[in-house]
Chain A
Amino acid sequence: EDKVVQSPLSLVVHEGDTVTLNCSYEVTNFRSLLWYKQEKKAPTFLFMLTSSGIEKKSGRLSSILDKKELFSILNITATQTGDSAVYLCAVDLLWGKFQFGAGTQVVVTP
């Protein structure tokens, strides 16, 4: 059975803190790993990772994949209240079929 596990399930931080979100996976077919941010509506795309060790960055967000140890991390530096959301990790299994993790709820307090 394909599994994607995210940790922690939730966390609360103060503005300016750095957060690290974890995503581990155990799947039969792996094409890529994706991170999404979900606020009140549908998820918005953050990153797609296919190769190990190559960090992807977008502003204060960055992510990296380790295909040997089967995990990825998403870092958010200098957090802002607008970063409060559920962050979803998904593995593209094959032909675009995604297995989602349960998500990590991040709350950034002023």
Chain B
Amino acid sequence: GAVVSQHPSRVICKSGTSVKIECRSLDFQATTMFWYRQFPKQSLMLMATSNEGSKATYEQGVEKDKFLINHASLTLSTLTVTSAHPEDSSFYICSARDGKETQYFGPGTRLLVL
């Protein structure tokens, strides 16, 4: 199956700093990537849809100025959590859609904000 990577896999940062998470589709081109957040023992919640070359579409309740998304190429999307606070601590997962419209998930990034 298709491979999606995320970097870093784990990050610990101080409150007030910004954190960038990269999502790459390794063996296919993805015009659309998705960013999810998962809190402990809860399901995945879609944060935003990232389209290559255009602005991301954010779900209701997700602050676009806090969660900056850039989809610079057909294989790379980045999520930057700006001025992170402890309540932003979560598991962030990206997914990428291939030409057959199946979504493949990255391994996730665990963010801990102290």
A95 nearest CB across to chain B (Å): 7
Asked if residues B34 and A48 are in contact (CB atoms below 8 Å), the reply is no
* Number of residues on chain A facing chain B (CB within 8 A): 22
What secondary structure prevails in chain A residues at the interface with B? strand
What secondary structure prevails in chain B residues at the interface with A? strand
User: Which residues of B66-114 are within 8 A (CB) of A?
Assistant: 93, 97, 101-108
Looking at the complex, which one of B34, B97, B107 makes contact with A41 (CB distance below 8 Å)?
Answer: B107
Cβ of A71 under 8 Å from chain B: no
Asked if residues A44 and B34 are in contact (CB atoms below 8 Å), the reply is no
Beyond A43-B44, A48-B102, is A96–B97 a contact (Cβ under 8 Å)?
Answer: yes
Residues on A lying within 8 angstroms of B by beta carbon are 31-32, 34, 36, 41-45, 48, 88, 90, 92, 95-103
